[in-house]
Amino acid sequence: MIRRLIILLLIVGCEETLEPNPNPCIPDLVCGEAVTCCDGRLYPTTCCNANCDDEIGICDNNNP
């Protein structure tokens, strides 16, 4: 009984798939220093989140 439980736990643990990040970022990507709106979010550089920048706000579509 314990052996079956251990095997079952190992199988369940292996079912989790680690899918690659669909949008991998490149931390050392060279970008322009300008607040940029991408997909409704503000970023501190022209690379948006391609260089792993965190968003700094929401875009104001009334004042481009």
Q: Is residue 37 part of a domain?
A: yes
Sorted by sequence, the CB contacts under 8 Å of residue 38 that are 6+ apart come out as 48, 49
Question: Considering the domain boundaries, does residue 38 fall inside one?
Answer: yes
pLDDT in tens, 2-61: 666 555 555 555 545 556 656 689 999 999 999 999 999 999 999 999 999 999 999 987
Within a domain: residue 41? Answer: yes
Task: State residue 61's pLDDT score.
Answer: 74
For residue 49, the model assigns a pLDDT of: 93
Structure tokens at 22: 């669909």
pLDDT at 20: 64
Classify residue 19: in a domain, yes or no: no
CB 46 within 8 A of CB 31: yes
- Is 7 a member of any domain? no
The number of folded domains in the chain is 1
Pull the structure tokens for residue 14: 């292996």
Enter the DSSP assignment of 13.
Answer: H
Q: Quick check: is 44 in a domain?
A: yes
Segments forming the whole domain that contains residue 55: 25-64
CA distances from 45 to 7, 24, 33 (A): 50, 17, 5
